[in-house]
Structure 1
Amino acid sequence: MINKDEKLAEKEININEKYEKNKLINENLIKSLENKLRESEKEILEKEINIEKEMITIFSRSHKEIEKYRKFSLEQLLSELLPISDSIERALSLIDEDKSNKIFIEIKDNITNIFDLLKEFFLLFHVKKIDSFNVPFDPSIHQAMSIKYSNEIEPNQVVTIMQPGYILHECRLLRPAMVIVSNKKI
């Protein structure tokens, strides 16, 4: 027969074995949970980085769109002002240079002042007249209205500007220049 001490010792061994076994299981469980926690932290950090990158991209895109809108929002208004500029310029060219008629001189001076203000307004909003005279015809900025046949002028040159063209911010065409283009006589 096993005495009490032996039974007690045997129980103690069983308890110690169970303790060691449970301790090992718990340590493995803790390591597994720590690994899962690290992986979760890594995933969260990656998601935060991706969200931050996406926010930067959205901000950048929005900023570019706002800048583009700001830059070109007045395009329609500026386009509508071009015929007014043409009319004022035409009126100035039609007024006689008769120095004896003070009324005409005063009218011309006032119209010239208005025209100068309009040109300053265009400069303020980066509207530039296209320099088209005696340059090669460029369909991206010119609209050919007629052809002038001549062997004295190099072919495909702008020889007459019927209506000036304008660009906005050096990159967007507001209105093409209406021009007469040279060609060789047949």
Structure 2
Amino acid sequence: MAIPVHEAPGQAAGDASEAFAPQPESERVAALEEELAALRDKWMRAEAEAQNTRNRQRKELEDARNFAIQKFATDVAEAADNLRRGLDALPQPEPGEPELLGKLRGGFEGVERSFLAMLERHGVQRVEAAGQPFDPALHQAMAEQPAPPGVEPGTVIQAWTPAWTLNGRLLRPAMVVVAGKPG
């Protein structure tokens, strides 16, 4: 059995008053400054996160605008390639050929120029590959042949199809034949 200990009058009250005594002014100021710094840091981080979110949304919206027509542009590029194949299939002009054939060829060439100019206005560009160094970001090697005299290995010596880009982004790589080691 524990024997109760009696404290002297005023002793317990003194302990309580010390616990609830107002902090010295400098301690209060330091605590408030620390709290202010923590809140300021929290606010700055929240502001930075909000700015990052706005930037990310702006970039996504810009990409959506620039590349929304990607599928359509790929299909139109195929049509432009087919027009070029048709022009390439026409026989070369010969002396004495009917005037109508020359006008027909000239008309189709004008249509192709107009078509390509319209595509370029909308960010779609044909990138020719023949004679360029092989670039795996733009070219798909379909074959390799010995380098002809005067041609560096790794050079595109023939393009089966051109590359197409939309606002600088590759739509379709060029299908190419690359020069290998001289034969």
Structure 2 unpaired stretches of 5+: 1-20
Whose RCO is larger (CA < 8 A, sep 6+)? 2
Q: Distance in 2 between matches of 1:49 and 1:162?
A: 56
The answer as to 2:48 corresponding to 1:62 is no
The answer as to 2:142 corresponding to 1:157 is no
State the shift of 1:68 in Å. 1.3
Q: CA RMSD in A?
A: 3.4
State the shift of 1:33 in Å. 10
Q: Which amino acid aligns with 1:117?
A: S
Distance 1:49 1:155, change over 3 A: closer
Which one has the bigger helix percentage? 1
1:46-95 deviation per Cα after TM superposition (whole angstroms, max 9, x unaligned): 65544433322211110011111111221111111111111111222233
Q: Distance in 2 between matches of 1:126 and 1:145?
A: 27
Percent sequence identity over aligned pairs: 24
The answer as to 2:131 corresponding to 1:134 is yes
Distance 1:142 1:42, change over 3 A: closer
Structure 1 unpaired stretches of 5+: 1-26
State the shift of 1:40 in Å. 7.5
Which structure has the larger Rg?
1
Q: Contact conserved, 1:165 with 1:174, CA < 8 A, in 2?
A: yes
Distance 1:45 1:134, change over 3 A: closer
The answer as to 2:175 corresponding to 1:178 is yes
State the shift of 1:129 in Å. 2.4
Distance 1:100 1:45, change over 3 A: same
Q: How many residues align?
A: 163
Q: TM-score, normalised by structure 2?
A: 0.68
